[in-house]
Chain A
Amino acid sequence: MKKILILTTALSGFAFAATAAEVTVMSWGGAYTKSQVEAYHKPFTAETGITVNSVDADNPATPIKAQVEAGNVTIDVADVEFSDAIRLCDEGLLEEIDPAILPAAPDGTPATEDFIDGAIQDCAVANIVWSTVFAYNKDNVDGTPTSIADFFDTTKFPGKRGLRKSAKATLEMALMADGVPSDKVYEVLNTPEGVDRAFAKLDTIKGDIVWWEAGAQPPQLLADGEVVMSTAYNGRIFNAAVAESQPLEVVWDGQILDFDLFVIPKGAPNKDEAMKFIAFATDTKRLADQASYISYGPARKSSGALVGLYQDGKTEMAPHMPTAEANLGNALVNNFEFWVDHDAELNERFNAWLAK
């Protein structure tokens, strides 16, 4: 009897491998996951017969280390930010991805040249370019905010502000609002005085800030009137404004561009299917397709020409892309090296500042 008990207990500890071919993809939830399901997952299943399970997290980079170290990996593909992809790769938590598996562009340009610079890394392949912008609710703001400085100006535009609860992007925006030109931001932030300056700027609106953590929160906070302006991932605002007709408006001044990349956690249960999925999802057509569900720029040059209308069939997508010429007036490209290096220190300081 006891033997049986021990045996069953031991057995229940192992998850049984699924019989049908499948792949589990973890992403950021909300409108973004929806766009991926439409543009990648459904066509992938239709073409290969491999089922795609979609899971969401506030930040998909978060569970990877815990799962890999515990030797219990349940996700095959995760969609993560640039600095997280580099850091996880350095810590040996990701499978390497051979760029040779990526399909060439329709005109025959090899993938390594077709992707934007930096979009292919040892363990990661980029799918989109997105940005952190600030947006406001037209019903609750008198006048028109036009610059990042307006976001920090609570006398001219009274009301609460939403900001992501992390040092990344928050500090850069504070410096840009304080008059630092975008090409000098990381230089300034690399000095103790620069960090002090960023926090001093944040101090000026500290009492008016509502902190958000999940990408779905800012459109909600703006729509509820809980805040009058909020930083957000640009695609979420586009969807709330176009698909749900919320009175939200993006301000592109001071936007911070970043990649999202696909990675495969080390020891993923369906590694081969994961590779197939990444090769499929980052081809020219899929990346262009995704842009018709949410306003994120494709990471391949050849996809740009194919980006057309939003799924409603009348909204032009091109002007809503973070990479559109008109939106790059005062833009900052996220410096992943800087954040890989200073993430821990600046977040510690950020947390201490929050707790004050």
Chain B
Amino acid sequence: MNLEKVIFGFFIVLALTLNFGFFLGEMDNPQYHNAYELFVLVVVNLIATGLKLGDRTQIGAILLSTSLVADLELIAAAIYWTVVVHVTETGMTPDVTASIVSLSGGALVANIVSVVMVVAETLMLRR
């Protein structure tokens, strides 16, 4: 067993599962989507990105880019949330919620790609 692999895998899978949890539920109903969950999700995603920095291999580059995609979409969702609640004060109407959740859905796909690649690499090198 290798501590590095544990940490690496832990954050990548945690990001995916949190993302899935946030995405789950009715698309346009704000009741199903928690602001704190989104906050934790953004933080975990950023940590996962940080772990992937500095890997010079091809697979490392792709892992980093999927992570950056997820970050981008989640941060966009968080900013949108902040704007509708605090700036325009329209609140979480169904169409705003749907936009935020679909952004997190995009991030979910990127996270799935990440996990699939990590699993594929691990399976290839059985040791």
Is the A/B pair a real complex? no
